[in-house]
A and B are shown apart, each in its own frame.
Chain A
């Protein structure tokens, strides 16, 4: 295997937490856990939160296809118009077009995102889903759980638990979006 070029840090003080291989391993493990906990893969839909959650959802879905020869349905849920913190954010988030299957009532939706922090994005995503209908259940898969929840929300599938201070920034970079090698970074304390 050709070793990937050493990725450049997104900020001068950032340290590498996961490289491309480690991200791959984490997402494969999540895919296995989803298969274990959802016997009927035709009734799940993996729903990405824009923008990097979409990449996470694609990757998990393609691993499930590799392991089980079934490509699960994938979707997108916009969270921008359901945020409760619009008036205090320094910039307005872009809204995105949502894609959900028409029959969400008897499905398990698995929300996929890159980083879980306060839990407010997840809450907004659940509110957004509720405006389309009432899925059978909603699960949550995240590449990084960095703690500091402000709402009673707990992920079902975690790539890596990353202890952080509230001020530290965590950076997720994907080749397909950021044109740099897949990597996860955090600020030095």
Chain B
């Protein structure tokens, strides 16, 4: 808070105007971003995180802008997080879900989106079950398009909040060893996380049954193992993905009990982690399946920090993509 003695001079270098600027109107995928852009989002998020601690938790940066949360696939926590982020930036928000939109009446995605633009939406946050839907819209609309999860492709803001949380807690991302455990095959979170972690210089190991973690992933530059116990002692972060048991067909693994026995973060396994290792989970958690209930509530678990940081990261993304005037050629 009060800086005494002097503030580190390095903080000025970070704010130096010589650093590259953001030129994107859309955020579609982590794999599009350079390490410098990723770092800019994280630095911007750090500044916006502080807004939540102020007496007045609202800034006028997006005053007068309209954000449409267009969730063709249901989601409560991501939608709420984007909604609150937009409120804190003083934007106006409208929520549209698949059931309330005319998609259910047979309107195409493109026509629905053109209607949203005709309503002068400045930013469209899209969650869609088809990979590439945000890209499709971004190429056809002047509005900013933010990917809030598309099929099994990417969920960029989740990866940004994950690396933000790691950087905040451990001071860096480069050189850390991160294990991502669970359903990688169906997971857009895993794909975005892998891209963000590798770009920032972390080492990534994927862990899970061979049906959900095929060796094919090694082509992305990560290690794959089917034995969780072999890596527990050497990782700095374990990121547990939710077993989407409502989605999976039965043939991918025999049962939840066996999954927990082979891959769950039980008390015994947690005890073998490094003392300062972080335990992460994008939520909602299945207590007793991928993570032991007590471990989920322990001091090393940063699951609720991830929720708070998600808000800051989404504010940063909305500011960077939607902050400028539309039709501003210098930025667009």
A interface residue numbers (CB < 8 A to B): 45, 50-51, 54-55, 58, 61, 71, 73-76, 78, 80-84, 86-92, 94-102, 127-128, 130-133, 176-177
Q: Which of B35-61 contact A (CB under 8 A)?
A: 40, 43-44, 46-48, 50-51, 54-56, 58-61
Contact present for A86 and B4 (CB under 8 Å): no
Known contacts being A50-B15, A86-B323, is A99 close to B2, with CB within 8 Å?
yes
Interface membership of B76, Cβ < 8 A: no
List A contacts of B89 (CB < 8 A).
Answer: 81
Q: Can you list 9 A-B pairs, Cβ within 8 angstroms, ordered by A?
A: A54-B11, A55-B12, A82-B61, A91-B330, A92-B320, A95-B44, A95-B47, A97-B11, A99-B2
B interface residue numbers (CB < 8 A to A): 1-7, 9, 11-17, 19, 21-22, 40, 43-44, 46-48, 50-51, 54-56, 58-61, 64, 89, 316, 319-320, 323-326, 328, 330-331
Contact present for A97 and B60 (CB under 8 Å): no
List A contacts of B43 (CB < 8 A).
Answer: 94
Give the nearest-CB partner of B49 in chain A: A97
Give the nearest-CB partner of B89 in chain A: A81
* Chain A nearest Cβ from B232, distance in angstroms: 35
Contact present for B47 and A92 (CB under 8 Å): no
Contact present for B51 and A81 (CB under 8 Å): yes
Contact present for A81 and B16 (CB under 8 Å): no
List A contacts of B3 (CB < 8 A).
Answer: 73-76, 99
Contact present for B319 and A75 (CB under 8 Å): no
Residue among A50, A95, A130, A131 having the largest count of chain B Cβ atoms under 10 Å = A95
**Mostly helix, strand, loop or mixed at chain B's interface?**
loop
Give the nearest-CB partner of A85 in chain B: B325
The distance in angstroms between the C-alpha atoms of A177 and B15, with both chains bound, is 10
* Chain A nearest Cβ from B213, distance in angstroms: 38
List A contacts of B46 (CB < 8 A).
Answer: 97
Known: A54-B7, A92-B323, A95-B47. 7 other contacts (CB 8 A): A50-B15, A61-B6, A71-B5, A86-B61, A90-B331, A97-B11, A99-B7
Q: How many A-B residue pairs have CB under 8 A?
A: 120
Contact present for A82 and B59 (CB under 8 Å): yes
List A contacts of B14 (CB < 8 A).
Answer: 96
List B contacts of A95 (CB < 8 A).
Answer: 44, 47-48, 316, 319
The distance in angstroms between the C-alpha atoms of A128 and B60, with both chains bound, is 10
* Chain B nearest Cβ from A106, distance in angstroms: 13
Known contacts being A73-B2, A92-B22, is A97 close to B12, with CB within 8 Å?
no
List B contacts of A76 (CB < 8 A).
Answer: 3, 7, 11
Contact present for A94 and B55 (CB under 8 Å): no
The distance in angstroms between the C-alpha atoms of A5 and B4, with both chains bound, is 33
Contact present for B47 and A96 (CB under 8 Å): yes
The distance in angstroms between the C-alpha atoms of A90 and B325, with both chains bound, is 9
List B contacts of A45 (CB < 8 A).
Answer: 2
List B contacts of A87 (CB < 8 A).
Answer: 64, 324-326, 328
Give the nearest-CB partner of B44 in chain A: A95
Contact present for A98 and B325 (CB under 8 Å): no
Nearest 9 interchain pairs by C-beta = A87-B325, A101-B2, A95-B47, A131-B56, A81-B59, A51-B15, A81-B61, A50-B15, A90-B330
Contact present for A131 and B59 (CB under 8 Å): yes
Known contacts being A54-B7, A176-B12, is A131 close to B54, with CB within 8 Å?
yes
List A contacts of B60 (CB < 8 A).
Answer: 81-82, 84, 127
Known contacts being A51-B15, A82-B60, is A92 close to B7, with CB within 8 Å?
no
The distance in angstroms between the C-alpha atoms of A86 and B64, with both chains bound, is 11
Give the nearest-CB partner of B22 in chain A: A92
Contact present for B6 and A94 (CB under 8 Å): no
List A contacts of B64 (CB < 8 A).
Answer: 87
Give the nearest-CB partner of B327 in chain A: A87
Give the nearest-CB partner of B46 in chain A: A97
List A contacts of B55 (CB < 8 A).
Answer: 131-133
* Chain B nearest Cβ from A96, distance in angstroms: 5
